Amino acid sequence: MQLTVTGKQIDTGVELRRHVETSLDAILGKYFKTAIEAHVVFSKEAHLSRTEVSIHIGRGIVVNAGASGTETYAAFDAAAQRIAKQMRRYKRRLRDHHAKIRESFEASERARDYVLATFDELEDDDGGPAVVAEMSTDLPNLTVGEAVMRMDLADAPVLLFRNRSHGELNLVYRRADGNIGWIDPELDPARRMRRHET
């Protein structure tokens, strides 16, 4: 696994890097043997240390967690515990998903992902928000349960995906009350059948 440890206003010495590497190796060894890469970012927030951990464990699966603490090591340990809890919760699904990917490579669709400036900051010539960044991202073909798992693992507020059961675009999102919302547009049944047959 390729490990990147970065500090923003924090010195990430050899001991801290060794602690990070040992902890992540133990977590991955217990729950998921292989990982492609991991990024750990340490930063200062007022009087607290903040740690953000992102682990790319397989095709399309990223696990993210963050935590704050009075000490750098404590903040990392809390974030690592969150990563371990997420992997423990989804261990069976992750292993099943990994096996399916090895059995057959399913090409997913690509979509454009834009980062927009707020209306207060910048406007383009049309009066709309200016595009700050533009990327290409995968639009996965998933069941609703798999979409919720990926959203939860990535600690993301929303996930757009193509519903494997009928082939249409769906969206899962984290509601303000902590529950998960699911948007499944009601389409013409004939269109849905044509899409499912292809």
The per-residue pLDDT for range 131-186, each reduced to its tens digit, is 777 877 778 889 999 999 999 888 889 999 999 888 899 999 999 998 999 999 87
Where do the domains of the chain lie?
A: 2-100, 108-197
pTM of the full structure? 0.68
> What confidence tens digit (pLDDT) does each residue in 78-99 have?
999 999 998 888 877 766 655 5
Mean per-residue pLDDT over the chain, rounded? 82
Taking the domain 2-100, which CATH number applies?
3.30.160.100
**Which position has the higher pLDDT, 190 or 23?**
23
CB atoms within 10 A of CB 107: 7
Is the confidence at residue 30, as pLDDT, over 70?
A: yes
For 33-82, what is each residue's pLDDT tens digit?
778 899 999 999 888 999 999 999 877 788 999 999 999 999 999 999 99
Task: Give the whole-angstrom CA distance, residue 51 versus residue 25.
Answer: 17
Q: Which amino acid is at 47?
A: H
Strand order in the sheet with 180-183: 141-142, 158-163, 169-174, 180-183
Q: Confidence band (pLDDT; 50, 70, 90) for 121? A: low
For residues 96 and 149, give the distance between their C-alpha atoms in angstroms, rounded to a whole number: 13
- In the CATH hierarchy, which top-level class contains the domain 108-197? alpha beta
71: which DSSP letter?
A: S
| Residue burial 140-166, b: 16+ Cβ < 10 Å; e: rest | bebebebbbbbbbbbbeeebbbbbeee
Q: What is the CA 47 to chain-centroid distance, rounded?
A: 28
Q: How far apart are CA 160 and CA 49, in angstroms?
A: 32
Closest CA to 80 of 32, 22, 34, 35: 22
Under DSSP, is residue 15 helix (H, G, I), strand (E, B) or coil?
helix
Q: Given this model, what pLDDT does residue 195 score?
A: 53
